[in-house]
Amino acid sequence: MAMIAEQIKLRPDLHVHKNENELFACCMKNGSIDLSLIEAHSRYAHPRKNPICDVVSGPCACGAWHDIDKARTAEIKARNE
């Protein structure tokens, strides 16, 4: 899986998925979702300032799975006011 994570880091443009189903398909390993690949997508393929992000944690409209982040929470709340 390290090889795939490295590919995500080097070519994030190839890992911007339209929805969580595409993201999950990209992150499958032996029939299970590899959470380290979900994290790699969130870190490299979906910058935190992505304008389509709609959640502060969990599956997002941008295709990533985000962890709770106080700065990100404030950014999304300000954008939605």
Amino acid occupying residue 5: A
**Along the chain (81 residues), what's the average pLDDT of each consecutive run of 10 residues?**
82 82 88 88 67 70 71 66 62
Residue 58 pairs with which residues in a beta bridge?
66
- Report how far residue 7's alpha carbon sits from residue 9's, in angstroms, rounded to the nearest whole number: 5
pLDDT computed for residue 40 by the predictor: 85
pLDDT computed for residue 51 by the predictor: 58
What separation in angstroms does the CA of 6 have from each of 18, 40, 71?
Answer: 21, 9, 26
Residue-range definition of the domain harbouring residue 65: 2-80
pLDDT computed for residue 79 by the predictor: 66
| Three-state secondary-structure class, residue 57 | coil
| Three-state secondary-structure class, residue 49 | coil
Number of domains present in the structure of the chain: 1
- Report how far residue 70's alpha carbon sits from residue 57's, in angstroms, rounded to the nearest whole number: 10
